[in-house]
Structure 1
């Protein structure tokens, strides 16, 4: 069904509203290597607020001082969205969460406890009756702090239905206003998940007085299907993340849930308050700040989502786009253009092109990006959209770095050892070192190690070309691990060795930040 065949506006006005609860800044940040700085979180929260997200889950306040500060700052700045913080069923967690969200226009405490037999036996070492008492006590505490309390049954889909109903009833009696029944480990099938919601809503006293919520992980690739099945079963809140970011295989992607409802309104008679034209821009921002690139064939926001290479497809699209496109690119913020960027392009054209690609940069950031673009245009015959995306993403990610690459000269060839002369600016002070290695990349990394001593282990070094051609930009990903902390970052440059140095330095910046703040995200 094409977008044009979707329900008319009057039909949409009769459809039921679904609350969009975005947890990119909490569950999404728990994805290995996706830790975000405060400035990053504020940028993401701002675009979520602008696009119409109902509830922003801003973090886990008890996890660290940095998480508390981020939740408090977002709570104070959000103009439209409600702001939630996560809290375990522990009095100190709930008190800290209440303090963090208190300045929000609509503050919410989201507290959770495990309910499945495997969690009670192996993780909590609690009896069913003990957990029921914990639910009553902690939800009551949260409700005394805020009017809006969400309670979650962790691992609900592996919890016997009779006991799950008892837990939900206890939470409602204690004052919960939203009941979340998450598929925490991505185990459920859609028909099972829908049936669970129907049974709980039919059997639990007071179920008609609260909002039920879905929260699905993608371990079996069913997060979106399960989320929509839960809505069909009576849930009216969907918990999701931009790009599906999250632990393990991630969460249900917000953009897919929203556009499924919008495009298939005939079978999904629901509406959200999301302005879908922000989706592409939000996707790019989250991919940049979380150093988590979006796969090319990702639904809705992937680079190839509106690309056509097959001759048959191209012929059809040229005659009528609806032959192969069930939604318009513009509907999700993607604008096709024939504007070609090169070394003769001016600042105005550059700014306009970035806007079309979903970026809005402040004046200083724009000036820096334009200078880098001019340098790139002098080195490449053709500057593709993907080149600009890589260039700007690199600018956003590294804007606040303490360690910056200043200069690099590499000596390589058949006669070793290869060597690298590297200059880094560390907190504004430049230092230079020459090192040798088993190949030019090894030499570069050895030089960085000498200038920034650390004990991290290199877990991933990956190179791919951003575009076609021998003059294509290289995009390098580097993953470092130290004391159980894992970070991933990327760097882009037409010179693969420079891109390698940028990526390694970017990972060190992330690792240094985590080491300094002692940020250890707590899993839910």
Structure 2
């Protein structure tokens, strides 16, 4: 079972996952042999970037509940909000700050002194300051490069002067001119930024590009911690996050379920599952809690996920196909890791694709003592009814079929 590894402001408690419950074979270990195992910190932005998903609005109490859910997962940093946006955000930040969470709380601001002051006024000690740095963004906003550099310098310096731990966040940095990218980030460091966030605003970077950019920044930023903030427009957010960590990034930004605008943000539970199980990299995420956290967030935000979604999909450990059901008693033959790592049950469902083993397992599960030869007749009836209804059968329907056949 997964045991908790939590990053907090004052300490770290590391507890390992039971590797005997991971059945991924030896290929990954062979391919990764000799490579160092980096650490991976998670920075959750569900409360800000996640709320930008179309139609999603979190109230103060909901934001507090979500913050507690995220904290319970073991995430090291939580972006509590963007206080200049609304009075409701300010109230939410106050409530979250008073909740005694173990995660480090961060505020968010544009490169505007009034934004930074709003974060400082709430007593937060950690702050992300954003500014657009791609020519596409600057052109759309009709802001010259020289102007944005001055804004970055002034806002970061103001934050540093007021005792804030500042990370600079260059919006659309993966589409920025590389020389101006470097100028903007160095301007932030010179003004007092302590950390740097590379931002793939439109999810356009391939993993190799993320690797290139993180290594490039590390080459001139030295020991300054680097973040990666990715989006999933091409379905590559998890791969890019892994590439960022392996290239030397310290923190991955993302949300529960990848909730966010367009195709969403990087999905923190999915990334944690990948890093922990495939790369053996500790993340601080308690995998046994991610499905409950996902379920609750879906209730709050009123959205649905694909049933085959990694980490949290309802079908991950449910089997219909007869050939697979015949191997159900040997989980490692049909699953890459134990369902116990995610604290979720396994099960058999009955439908068009069921086989004899499916019937036997379901009979045992429901305590049905079918007479000799009944399984074959039951299977025929299950297939017939499932095809007629074009769906899976409920346990109640199967019980009725069993009664009729017997």
TM-score interval for Structure 1 and Structure 2 normalised by the shorter chain: 0.7 to 0.9
Report how many residues are paired: 330
Segments of 4+ moved more than 3 angstroms: 4-8, 335-338, 465-469
- Aligned pair partner of 1:108 in 97, 105, 126: 126
Match of 2:272 in 1: 258
> Aligned in 2, Cα 1:336/1:63: closer, same or farther, shift over 3 Å?
same
Q: CA deviation at 1:129?
A: 2.2
Match of 1:230 in 2: 244
Measure the CA separation in 2 of the matches of 1:296 and 1:157: 32
Q: CA deviation at 1:100?
A: 2.8
Q: CA deviation at 1:15?
A: 3.3
Gaps of 5+ in 1: 339-464, 473-524
> Aligned in 2, Cα 1:233/1:315: closer, same or farther, shift over 3 Å?
same
Measure the CA separation in 2 of the matches of 1:335 and 1:78: 32
Measure the CA separation in 1 of the matches of 2:272 and 2:192: 29
Match of 1:297 in 2: 308
Asked if structure 2 preserves the Cα contact closer than 8 Å seen for 1:69 and 1:100, the reply is: no
1:246-299 per-position Cα deviation (integer Å, ceiling 9, x unaligned): 01110111111000011112xxx5321111111111111111101112221111
Asked if structure 1 preserves the Cα contact closer than 8 Å seen for 2:226 and 2:251, the reply is: yes
Q: CA deviation at 1:239?
A: 0.3
- Aligned pair partner of 1:98 in 117, 120, 142: 120
Asked if structure 1 preserves the Cα contact closer than 8 Å seen for 2:131 and 2:152, the reply is: yes
Report the 3-state secondary structure (helix = DSSP H, G, I; strand = E; otherwise coil) of the residue aligned with 2:67. Answer: helix
State the Cα RMSD in Å.
2.6
Measure the CA separation in 2 of the matches of 1:196 and 1:242: 25
Q: CA deviation at 1:143?
A: 1.8
Measure the CA separation in 1 of the matches of 2:391 and 2:120: 45
- Give 1 or 2: higher strand fraction: 1
Asked if structure 2 preserves the Cα contact closer than 8 Å seen for 1:219 and 1:248, the reply is: yes
Q: Does 1:215 align with 2:233?
A: no
1:402-422 per-position Cα deviation (integer Å, ceiling 9, x unaligned): xxxxxxxxxxxxxxxxxxxxx
- Aligned pair partner of 2:87 in 65, 70, 82: 65
Match of 2:148 in 1: 131
1:285-334 per-position Cα deviation (integer Å, ceiling 9, x unaligned): 1111011122211111011122222222222232x211221122221232
Match runs of 1:200-349 below 5 Å: 200-202=217-219, 204=220, 207-265=221-279, 270-318=281-329, 320-336=330-346
Match of 2:215 in 1: 198
Gaps of 5+ in 2: 1-18, 349-389, 398-406
Give the stretch that moved more between structures: 167-176 or 154-163. Answer: 167-176
> Aligned in 2, Cα 1:166/1:37: closer, same or farther, shift over 3 Å?
same
Match of 1:365 in 2: none
- Give TM-score scaled by structure 2 length: 0.76
1:158-198 per-position Cα deviation (integer Å, ceiling 9, x unaligned): 00111111111111122212211111011111111111111
Higher normalized contact order (CA 8 Å, seq sep 6+, divided by chain length): 2
Measure the CA separation in 2 of the matches of 1:141 and 1:315: 65
